[in-house]
Chain A
Amino acid sequence: MSAPLLRATHLVKEFPVLGTGGIVRRPDTFRAVDDVSFEINAGDTLALVGESGSGKSTTARLAARLLDVTSGTVELDGEDVTRLGRADLRRFRSDVQVVFQDPYSSLNPRHTVERIVTAPLLYQQRGIPGGARAFTRSLMERVGLDPDHSQKYPAQFSGGQAQRIGIARALAVGPRVVVCDEAVSALDVSVQAQVINLLRDLQREEGLTYLFIAHDLAVVRQIATRVAVMTQGRIVEEGDRDAVFDAPQHEYTRKLLDAVPRIRPEWEAERRRNAALAAEGAR
């Protein structure tokens, strides 16, 4: 089998605790990520799930090199990228991109869609294939946006559409890995379904690899191929999606799954039966 595309080994991230340091005394530290290791194969989706404060977002930021590790290594395609400097980071960023939770705060409100989605290429001092206008149009089509709206501003789009812009921006550099940090958490359920579908389609069509950070286990079930459960800075369980959901091994995973509110399965089954009958009758 081929080597994993993204590999994190013994990641540790410590933050200084505010107000504990002195002139000679080093501040106390809080260990947000505590010896976390994972691998993602090309074309897979690893979901990091956990509650607030579990360290899942910090882990994602370490893997995307948005934060520097305290110790441990991040490897992309076998290359150690943990200590890359500015110039080499640019290369890394064209392989690994991030989609954030709140599209409105992660997109510059004063820039048009065209300027937003072409910015990553400009930062990387790469040319824009086919010119900015045509490039933006094709990107917008790929994420299901009307290409005629390339000169609009983020505020002129609804939440789901704005998140599509965030996805388009991530795709602009042609990344291999996309880190989705709670990328569908702020969306209404109907819009959320569309964005999940989009992410799944893009993966199928373009072979993208996702590191998917989420607190919503139902969403994770729809998109992940593998699941890692985090609590208190550690991964307590990792496995194939169905194994984790259907036969959780760790007590914390069971507690988490038990707590998820559910529509009664028998109601679900009856609704689907009724819908099928109605469709039958309509014919």
Chain B
Amino acid sequence: MSLLTVRDLTVTFPTPRGPLDAVRSLDLDLEPGGALGIVGESGSGKSMTSLAIMGLQPRAAKRTGSVRLLDQELVGMSEAELRRVRGDRIAMVFQDPLSSLNPYYTVGLQIEEAYRAHRPGTTRRVARRVAIEALERVHIRDAARRVDHYPHQFSGGMRQRVMIAMALSTEPELLIADEPTTALDVTVQAQILDLLQEIRRETGTGLVLITHDLAVVSEVTDHIVVMKDGVCVERGAVEQIFTRPQHPYTRALLDAVPRIDDEIGELRAVANEKNGGPA
């Protein structure tokens, strides 16, 4: 059975000029332990997709279609039921770890609270042990001491590790990472990407990685969905997308990526890009 099956997912916003689809008729499939990359530029609807999977789309928006986690349908679920799924079976990591963590509490307390919310009846002592183990799993050294530190005492990369530790503490089946390394330095990014790979190998957690960075998805995921203006323009196995892209937009996107290995004469700009040339 597929871990995640999304069918005809549409997120619609009412606007003064009529309804606007931020995501339109999107299908996604992820096998248990698989890694799916959703790539697109700003405004492509990739982040709205990740929010809509968890039912976190803005209040004004309407979500239709089907989102199934194993055999459970998430569209139409009550908020209380959804809350049990979120953070427990589906966990999420965002771009900016500093704004996702509460600066007033130690990271340990925040992991403990999140864990206890999903495992009622857990004692503080057990939760604290879970927190320390979670920090160890993401390779934070001296976890037993670091658990009592505040977010500002961690570097950007370490904070993102804390977020991943928190996300994994409940042993979710699916981890959604939305631009998890975009705000990080390149050497730190490499470490976080390695960590995500390792977690997937060792725990079998499915991964949905949302990013604008084609090189990142090419290294981390095995299937890719390319989004533009709220719709999927192309999907396929990673090697297929990178060697035989079919859609003109995918081709243009690949042509526009600056390479580190050689200088390519003129970087080909994406044709008819509405954000591009003169309006």
Contacts and interface: CB of A to CB of B under 8 A. Distances in A.
12 contacts: A190-B270, A191-B275, A192-B256, A197-B266, A222-B258, A256-B187, A258-B190, A259-B186, A260-B186, A261-B213, A264-B218, A274-B243
A149 B264 contact: no
A161 interface: yes
A19 to B, nearest CB: 15
A256 B185 CA distance: 10
B257 A189 contact: yes
A193 interface: yes
Contacts of B275: 158-161, 188, 190-191
A261 B41 contact: no
Interface string A250-283: 0000011111111111011011001100000000
B215 A263 contact: yes
Given A215-B186, A261-B189, A275-B251, A145 B278 contact: yes
A267 B269 contact: no
Interface string A144-159: 1110010000000111
A110 B188 CA distance: 39
Nearest to A149: B279
A81 interface: no
A271 B244 contact: yes
A52 B185 contact: yes
Nearest to B213: A261
Interface size class of A (residues with CB under 8 A): 35 or more
Interface string B131-143: 0000000000000
A159 B189 CA distance: 25
B195 to A, nearest CB: 14
A270 B241 CA distance: 11
B119 interface: no
B184 to A, nearest CB: 9
A189 B268 contact: no
Interface string B249-279: 0011111111111111011111001111111
A219 interface: yes
A190 B256 contact: yes
B258 A219 contact: yes
Interface string A178-202: 0000000000111111101100000
A196 B264 CA distance: 12
Contact of A267 (B41, B242, B270): B242
A216 interface: yes
B278 A146 contact: yes
Given A161-B279, A189-B41, A267 B186 contact: no
B239 interface: yes
A183 B35 CA distance: 33
Given A256-B186, A261-B216, A189 B256 contact: yes
